[in-house]
Amino acid sequence: MPLDQPVPAQNREMPRRHRRTEPSGSPEADVEQRPRPAGRRFWATAYALLILLTGTNLPTPLYGDYQERFGFSPLVVTLIFAAYVATLIPSLLVAGPLSDAIGRRRVLLPAVALAALGSVVFALATSTGWLFAARVLQGMALGAASGPLTASLAELEPNGNRRKAALVSTVASVGGLGLGPVLAGLLAQYAPAPHVLPFAVEVVLLVPAAAALVALPATRPAMRWRPRRPEIPVAMRATFATSGTAGFLAFAVIGLFLTLIPPYVATLANSKNLLLGGATVALMLACSVLAQLVGYGKPARSLELTGLPLLAAGLALLALAGGLSSLTVLFAATVIAGVGQGLAFLGGLTAVSQAAPADRHADVLSSFYVILYLGVGLPVIGVGFLATIVGLLPAVQYFAGAAAVLCTTVLIALARARHRAVVSTPTGPHGPVKGE
């Protein structure tokens, strides 16, 4: 399916005289009002995704305080984060195909309940073990919700435009990643009960999210569910492989920012202000969101080929900032890396969503998110371990340099694949032959 062509919405081309109307209204009034409930459900579902992501990233600016309160090392910070990813991935693999089989609502409502429970455990935390338990609950919740919510957005978009649905999904996801650290940093720095209030606010915000999911249309089971290993349809494996690799690197950078960049910033600035670290994370993610808005409508591969070199440049500057002890260079690196991350992520998700078969949509998207969250969780464990040996600043520098090299390698592979595709495309008298 061409990336620029939206999926036709049901009844979109049907003449008005053939549309079913309610006895109490005229056909014209029914046509005018029909898209509105679908539009409301679409945006309410996006809100649910935003708030779930917000809650899972509230701990980001608080890890430094937790280290002082409970006495653990940077390695333990990354292990707490890894516990979240370790439960998130199996949850993704189970919940995606399960929601295809039994319906979105039956999977999403328990996920919201788990998210609320995770916030409660964080608010009550009195030791390191509580932090691990809370992150496990949050990982289960987000893993269960990510694929079904993304698929729901594609299904609920009023005009059937999967490209728009992919944009809204990535903006909501990255927006939640950025909103969480800012909200928690602001409340923890300037409001009472710094380790309780952010999570109490999250529980309150989850209430309308649950109400939105209750209002989702009920669906009949489409197939019999059974556990199975991740499997990508043959026709889209090449797309999934390239987009998944770019997404892995893009989210490895997010994992670094969510775990170790706040203390990295605090070290460079010689400051303990909790909002400063959270704001740096939010700046990177805000740049990612803005880049996605600007990139909306462009071909998926073009987005990836533009995003990866920017991501590599931002990482190189991030390594340089530690050597120069320069906050100015750090903020420049944050902006450039954020733009690159946003373009690479949007391009990858759009390509995968467009290529996924309708009956495997949530399943394929859940597998794609597995790759993303492996990128979030695995590399930062190595950085945390390295930080205990050589120190935080050199560890971040080494990671940034290595990731920049990998981004360049993937960029070259994508460019070669695109060149081969162009060369092998059949042409007619008026240009390339479409659909072959």
Whole-angstrom Cα distance, residue 3 to residue 162? 9
436 assigned to some structural domain = no
Q: Residue 99: its pLDDT value, please?
A: 79
Q: Residue 98: its pLDDT value, please?
A: 78
10 assigned to some structural domain = no
Instruction: Give the predicted TM-score (pTM) of the model.
Output: 0.69
Q: What is the DSSP letter of 20?
A: -
Q: Residue 355: its pLDDT value, please?
A: 80
- 8 Å CB contact between 139 and 95: no
CATH number, position 98: 1.20.1250.20
55 assigned to some structural domain = yes
Q: Residue 172: its pLDDT value, please?
A: 87
Q: Residue 380: its pLDDT value, please?
A: 82
78 assigned to some structural domain = yes
Give the number of residues written for the chain.
436
4 assigned to some structural domain = no
Instruction: Profile the chain (436 residues) by mean pLDDT over runs of 10 residues.
Output: 36 40 39 53 90 90 86 83 85 78 84 95 94 94 87 82 80 83 88 92 94 77 60 80 87 84 82 81 88 86 91 92 85 94 87 79 76 83 85 86 89 79 58 43
1 assigned to some structural domain = no
30 assigned to some structural domain = no
Task: Report how many domains make up the chain.
Answer: 1
**If we measure between CA atoms, which residue out of 226, 330, 227, 228 comes closest to residue 283?**
330
13 assigned to some structural domain = no
CA dihedral angle for residue 42, residue 367, residue 4, residue 404, rounded to 10 degrees: 110
- 8 Å CB contact between 322 and 397: yes
Its domain, for residue 112, covers 37-217+233-426
